[in-house]
Copies of this chain bind each other. A is one copy, B any other.
Amino acid sequence: MTELCHEGAALREACERVRREGGRVALVPTMGALHAGHLSLARAAREQGADFIALSVFVNPLQFGEGEDLGRYPRTLESDLEACRELGVDLVFAPAREAMYPDGFQTEVRVTGLTQPLEGEHRPGHFDGVTTVVAKLFAKTGRCHAYFGRKDFQQWRVVERMARDLELPVEVVGMPIVREADGLALSSRNRHLSESERERALGISRGLRRVHDAWASGARDAAQLTALVRREVEPTSDKIDYVALRSPETLEPAGDTIDAGVLLIAAHVGQTRLIDNLWLGVDARP
């Protein structure tokens, strides 16, 4: 049975009850429009021993900038609930905007360094919105494991940092990207893609696949590896925000010759902005 609740108090009480009885709580924060990537998080939570899975659905206005796609972001609560039922999620927490940010709300949780490059440059304030809403979700859920997809690699690192710095009793878990059979990383925004845009969007995962294979063959030159992605994405996308090879921990440039790294990309296809990444030596072939 999947329960639906709209109030933070109900989420808190449910989680406290589970823990009182010795159970382990998992939280899967989402903006809804659930796809197999989200569902893999709930499945991982169950497999890793959670006795109770709470999944939040909240399109968080704080993390959308001026001119971004807040209004256009898909909202599909009914089918989200259906998917959660099938998966055995215990509680779906879907608060109203006013419940999360009532009149007079004026607190912000910010991570400074990790939020500056990459998405931070292209979406100023975005991560402040993320960490603020996630801090609220963590406060309500209490001691738990919280599952994030590594498609939002930087977000995962930022949230992990926030939880550690504030000493929240939350274990932040980053799970691998889930892809379509042809390589496209799952994203709620994919439904905005037309058929021809979707075809072009495949340039991204194709580029990452080239990098995966080059790395497997011993390539370690950063410029050469990023060029492999650019070669695929430049002709197929409308604008590249960044292609960057970074340290997986600090997100600082990984150096000229690398022995570890994550290759991150953000690019626009039509009106849709897509992000993707490959954690070298860790992620499966895209």
Chain A interface (Cβ < 8 Å from any Cβ of B): 8, 12, 20, 104-114, 131, 135-136, 139-140, 142, 161-162, 165-169
Complex interface: chain B residues within 8 A of A20 (CB)? 20
Most chain B CB neighbours (cut-off 10 Å) among A105, A107, A165, A166: A107
B139 and A169 form a contact (CB under 8 A): yes
Closest 5 CB pairs of A and B: A107-B165, A106-B112, A106-B113, A108-B110, A139-B167
This protein's copies in its complex: 2
Residues of B within 8 A of A109 (CB): 107-110, 135, 166
| A112 to B128 Cα, complex, angstroms | 13
Q: Are B165 and A140 in contact (CB under 8 A)?
A: no
Q: How far is the CA of A40 from the CA of B139 in the complex (A)?
A: 29
Question: Bound complex: CA of A8 vs CA of B166, how far in Å?
Answer: 11
Q: List 27 A-B contacts (CB under 8 A).
A: A8-B167, A12-B169, A20-B20, A106-B111, A106-B112, A106-B113, A106-B114, A106-B161, A107-B110, A107-B111, A107-B112, A107-B131, A107-B161, A107-B162, A107-B166, A108-B109, A109-B109, A109-B110, A109-B166, A110-B110, A136-B165, A136-B166, A139-B167, A139-B168, A139-B169, A142-B142, A142-B169
